[in-house]
Amino acid sequence: MGFSDLLKDIENNEGEMISLRALSKEVGITPSAVYNHFADKSALLMAIKIRVYEIFNKFFTDNCTESENPARALVEMWLAYFHFSRKYSSQFRFLFRASLPMEWSTKEIIDVSCRCLAKARSLAFAIHNKYQLHCTEEVVVNSTLLIWSQLHGIVTLRSSGLIGAAVSHQQWPAN
């Protein structure tokens, strides 16, 4: 079982069917050895989530150029977000579906999960500065969250087939 297979199992079963015992069998170690590394299933899911966020962040690094134009850089980020959701669909769904108890929110998971959002926030701030728009930190954060929410909604609707169904049913142009 590879990492992608493990994610598909988690995704398909909402994380309920994966067990540390099954994982140990797949990687060829004893169940007790798994418990030396992971206290329980939540700890395992946290480790997987951190790994997937590292893949997610590397995808952005590899697919976004450094641009002097913050608006262009933000568009590149959002295109990378869309392409990641298509290329690595099971990982993308896992990141945003698999919830973990709040007490498992460590500095490591917060840092890795917020890396792209922090970059988007800095680009939103740079756009405000470029056009000499007065803004507060609250405006920049709200702008960033609004853009991300809209993009995530579009990506989710598109991957679910709902946009295609609406276009077809309403006889809208396909583009």
Please report whether residue 83 resides in a domain: yes
Please report whether residue 135 resides in a domain: yes
80 or 20, greater pLDDT: 80
Please report whether residue 92 resides in a domain: yes
Q: What are the C-alpha distances in Å from 50 to residues 93, 110, 133?
A: 14, 9, 36
Q: Which two tokens stand for residue 16?
A: 């309920």
Domain count within the chain: 1
Please report whether residue 72 resides in a domain: yes
For residue 52, give the nearest of 96, 117, 82 by alpha carbon.
Answer: 96
**In 3-136, which residue ranges form alpha helices assigned H by DSSP?**
3-12, 20-27, 31-37, 41-63, 70-87, 89-97, 107-130
| pTM (predicted TM-score) | 0.78
For 111, the domain range is: 49-170
Q: What is the pLDDT of residues 93-146, one digit of tens each?
A: 888 876 767 777 788 988 999 999 999 999 999 999 999 988 899 999 999 999
Question: Using 50, 70 and 90 to split pLDDT, how confident is the model at 27?
Answer: low
**Which domain CATH number covers 101?**
1.10.357
Please report whether residue 11 resides in a domain: no
Average pLDDT over residues 18-38: 72
Please report whether residue 145 resides in a domain: yes
127 or 16, greater pLDDT: 127
Please report whether residue 24 resides in a domain: no
Secondary structure letter of residue 39 according to DSSP: S
For residue 154, give the nearest of 143, 142, 166 by alpha carbon.
Answer: 166
Please report whether residue 88 resides in a domain: yes
d(CA 30, CA 128): 55
